[in-house]
Structure formats: C-alpha cells, structure tokens
Amino acid sequence: MENLKRGKVKNNVRYFRRLHDFTQEELSDRIGVHRQTIVALEKQKYEPSIGIVLMLSSVLNEPIDKLFFLEEKTD
C-alpha cells in the first residue's frame, strides 16, 4: 500500500462566495462565524472544523470536494 503524504488543505470558498454574490459578512452570518474566519479561510490561513465545512457546503450549495481539496505534496 502506498503511503499518502498530506498536503495543505486548500479551498475555493472565495470563488463560490462571489459566484453566489455574498459578502464575507453575509456568508459569516449565514454560517455563524466571525467575518475574520471567512477572511482567514479565503487567505488559506485557516483549516475549518467539519461543522463549518458542512455549513459552507450547505449555504453555498456546493459539494465539499468542490470547496476543499488537498494540495499535492511533492518531495
């Protein structure tokens, strides 16, 4: 079995937030977090809990694997 190497979790939240015409404030209100959480998430500086991931998926009406992905790790 091949060893999997974990890369960084990246996301497309900014793209889908803008696609749905939400401000960072509107999105944060809808999922119950501070606006700064959305800012950090969009800057790839925060890996959210599974609860936040599920809420984002629901509010943005996108599957989780479109919102989040693992960056390929190279040696």
27, exposed or middle or buried, with CB in 10 Å at 0-12, 13-18, 19+? buried
Token pair belonging to 28 = 């944060």
CA 41-52-7 angle, 5° bins: 55
Q: For 4-36, what is each residue's pLDDT tens digit? A: 566 889 999 999 999 999 999 999 999 999 999
Q: For 28-46, what is each residue's pLDDT tens digit? A: 999 999 999 999 999 999 9
Phi and psi at residue 63, to the nearest 5° = -65, 150
